[in-house]
Amino acid sequence: MPVAKTINTDTYLDISEIEKNLQNVDYIILATPAPRHFKDTPIQFTIFLNTQENFPQDIKDAILDKFLDEQEIFNPIEVMSQIMPVGFGLSTQQDTLMPLLLVKSEDVKNIPNKPMHVIDFLADSEKFNEVKNDGLTGWSYSYN
């Protein structure tokens, strides 16, 4: 069985590179293992919408419902939906740039970032077995 390497990011895009990377991007979905004590929701999902629009709650709910249906995700809990700073890390092992939700004020100050509408939650899905069963992290860009 192949051994997964840790994703190391210590080089980040600057603001102009972030803008170029996000050209024609509709959204990015990131899936990573949830903390172990969340047995019923073993996957942490982060959806990065390529917008800075702060939607009303009914629109946020509709967007989340769309993603849940399209990605066959169920049992969402701990849902956060708001504008957040997002950086992008370079990794030699990956073809696409890793989005990084920046929550620490130190990271926001030191890592170039762009505000994006972010939806973050814990849930389950049979479509993300590499995350759920193998403990891997992955992301996918969707283009318009």
H/E stretch holding 44 reads: strand 43-49
Residue-level pLDDT, tens digit, the chain, 144 residues:
344 455 556 689 999 999 999 999 999 999 999 998 998 999 999 999 999 999 999 999 999 999 999 999 999 999 999 999 999 998 756 678 999 999 999 999 999 999 999 999 999 999 999 999 999 999 999 999
| Cα dihedral sign, 18-114-104-31 | negative
Inside any domain, residue 67: yes
Which pLDDT value is given to residue 96? 84
Inside any domain, residue 122: yes
Which pLDDT value is given to residue 11? 86
Which pLDDT value is given to residue 121? 98
Domain that holds residue 46: 16-143
Distance, CA of 63 to chain centre: 15
Tokens read off for 142? 């969707």
Looking at the 3D structure of the chain, how many domains does it have? 1
Which pLDDT value is given to residue 61? 97
Tokens read off for 23? 């050209």
Inside any domain, residue 3: no
Inside any domain, residue 10: no
Phi-psi region at 75: left, alpha or beta (left = phi > 0; alpha = psi -120 to 50): left
Inside any domain, residue 121: yes
